[in-house]
Amino acid sequence: MWLDGFSSLMAAKDVLALLMTGFAVKALDDWIDRGYLAVGGQDRQGGAEADLNDLLGSALPAYLALSLCLAVTLNWRWAASIFLACYALGMLGRLTQRFASGLSGLVEIILVAVWGVLTLGWLEMGGAAAFVASAQLLDDWRDANPDRRSGNPNLLLRWGTAPFVFVSVMVTALALYIDAAKSLTGYTALLLLWLTLRLLDAAGPDADSRASSDGPVGRSWIE
């Protein structure tokens, strides 16, 4: 009996680790893109989720760092590999752009990938990359309607339904094949993070205005 309780505790710890990692990634994304908010009454992605800049203000970087540190203490391999994969995959659309480091997006991707493989192993990084890619595809599917209205890049709109579904299924299957435990835990953490952000948004002072600006065609996932 106590072994079952211990297993449940470890599973909860892993979910919390990836939940905090997801929060850190969301916070980093919001902080980087804070200059593109509030276009036509919607956020930069045309969606209805809470923006962490509005919730945390100038304290956001501190909570980002704290969240990532707490995630690492719970499961450092999963937290580190997921965050590195998010950083690398987030650069794919900016391969030739030069950043504050003086390096191009392509060079940063290579350096992050090599570092991750050397310190964590190729299976750990490969599983993380496949999971993050599948999560991004899920996000593009969920955001198809608002992205169509706002003109933001979206792979579902770019590729069409059939190719998008095929690639999504293959990438998700690859993530589950490489590391089913981390991928399933990650999907659970993503759902919890999304629900938390929706609740925060619904409780925020601008919830009514955001809801009305979304129009009759809302997000397609779960709603």
Residue 223 lies in a domain: no
For residue 131, give both structure tokens.
Answer: 């999971």
Query: For 164, left (φ over 0), alpha (ψ -120 to 50), or beta?
Result: alpha
78 in a structural domain: yes
Asked if residue 82 is part of any domain, the answer here is yes
Q: Helix or strand or coil: residue 108?
A: helix
**Which letter, b or e, does each residue of 172-196 get, where b requires 16 or more Cβ atoms within 10 Å of its Cβ?**
bebbbebbeebbbbbbebbeebbee
In a domain, 220, yes or no: no
Output the pTM of the full model.
0.79
The boundaries of the domain holding residue 100 are 2-213
Residue 219 lies in a domain: no
pLDDT at 124: 96
- What is the C-alpha to C-alpha distance for residues 66 and 76, in angstroms, rounded to an integer? 14
Q: Note whether residue 109 is domain-resident.
A: yes
**Number of domains the chain contains:** 1
- Determine, yes or no, domain membership for 110: yes
* Distance in angstroms (rounded) separating the CA atoms of residues 197 and 193: 6
- Structural domain contains residue 218: no
Supply the pLDDT for residue 21. 96
Low-confidence ranges of the chain (pLDDT < 70): 1-10, 35-49, 203-223
* pLDDT value of position 217: 33
